[in-house]
Amino acid sequence: MLVRNIFDLIPGGLPDEAFITLLNSDKVKIERIISKGHSSPKAGWYDQAQDEWVIVLKGEGIILFEDGESKHLKVGDFINIPRHKKHKVEWTLPGEETIWLAVHY
């Protein structure tokens, strides 16, 4: 078994958000997402077929929902996003990495 650290191998530069799959099975996908001042494209929404539980491990970000509700997440904050609840990342901390851990189930 390989032991890894969630904070290792942070890519430099980050022209785009970095999505790294940590575990993937038939029923669950766990990924680390790294943002650095990134947001989702203005057009379109994430509309996922699975529920998503997400926690901020470092930094902070704002998740915007299609109905206009938004949630500002800081270190340690987590949220469960039901499947097909349209959402996007509206803002992440500029100049510092925001590290998200997302569990799709």
97 part of a folded domain = yes
pLDDT at 10: 86
pLDDT at 31: 97
Range of the domain at 82: 18-104
Residue carrying the six token digits 């998503």: 52
Number of Cβ atoms within 10 Å of the Cβ of 98: 25
2 part of a folded domain = no
- For the segment 54-81, what is each residue's pLDDT rounded down to a tens digit? 999 999 999 999 999 999 999 999 999 9
9 part of a folded domain = no
pLDDT at 71: 98
| Contact status, residue 98 vs residue 56, Cβ threshold 8 Å | yes
Count of structural domains within the chain: 1
8 part of a folded domain = no
Q: pTM for the complete prediction?
A: 0.92
Q: What CATH number is given to the structural domain containing 55?
A: 2.60.120.10
